[in-house]
Amino acid sequence: MDFNRDSFINGKLLLINKPVGWTSFQVVNKIRWLIKSSFDIKKIKVGHAGTLDPLAEGLLIVCTGKLTKKIAKFQNTKKEYSGTFYIGATTPSFDLETPINSKCSIKSINAEKLNLTSKEFLGAIKQTPPVFSAIKVKGKKLYEYARKGEAIQLKKREVYIYKFKITNINLPLVNFEIICSKGTYIRSIANDFGKELKTGAYLHKLIRTSIGDFKLDDALTIENFEKKIKSG
């Protein structure tokens, strides 16, 4: 892969392994700064094809230069994730961003029930986005309303689940794999999964392993990208 000035301006597709704790926007900003400072470029377009939450990790497609025009094409492809649900508790954000706000006994939970419940999510489903998300309503991001305790009515969205498999059970932790359409919130899957179990659940860990034909195994860490661009 060429790491030179012209390649970034003409358009390059980068596979980046986003670490936990970084926003997708921070990754884009870091890559843009590295390109500009390494090649003395005053202005260059850089964008990503599908947000990952700060607490999630894994594959992020980053496009530069003229290739940013094709971001929508990559956004519309299937996404694959692996991760872990915590069964028996809920959080307002549906993940670890906010503290637990309710707990429930999980004595009734077993492998059969978990596997049967996962099958109920296959195909076209409707889900409500998490209130702690970056979706904009009336010019403000949802998490801005949520952090102020302001209630916002949200419409359910239809998404498609191609695969939902329970891969390991070590209660209260349950590992899973999901293949889904654009716009699917895995945090909402976790919350709805807990509702179906009647115990509550939240997303404990999430890794995006593929976007369309692009795989996490082929992605660069931010550190490796920085080394390559400085030596390239």
CATH number, residue 167: 3.30.2350.10
- Give the separation between CA 102 and CA 147, rounded to whole angstroms: 18
List, for residues 140-163, the tens digit of each pLDDT value: 666 665 566 656 667 788 999 999
Q: Tell whether 191 and 87 lie within a shared domain.
A: yes
pLDDT cut 70: percent of the chain above it: 89
Same domain, 105 and 59: no
Of residues 6, 53, 192, 218, which has the active-site annotation?
53
Residue 104 sits in the same domain as residue 59: no
Region 100-124 average pLDDT: 97
pLDDT in tens, 162-194: 999 999 999 999 999 999 999 999 999 999 999
218 is an active site residue: no
Residues 103 and 144 in one domain: yes
Confidence band, pLDDT 50/70/90 cuts, at residue 99: very high
CA–CA gap between residue 184 and residue 127 (Å, rounded): 8
Q: Which domain holds residue 197?
A: 79-211
Q: Count of domains in the chain?
A: 2
Instruction: Assess whether 138 and 121 both reside in one domain.
Output: yes
Nearest-angstrom CA–CA distance, 127 and 71: 24
Residues 109 and 47 in one domain: no
CB 154 within 8 A of CB 191: no
Q: Are 65 and 106 in contact (CB under 8 A)?
A: no
Note whether 204 and 224 are same-domain residues. Answer: no
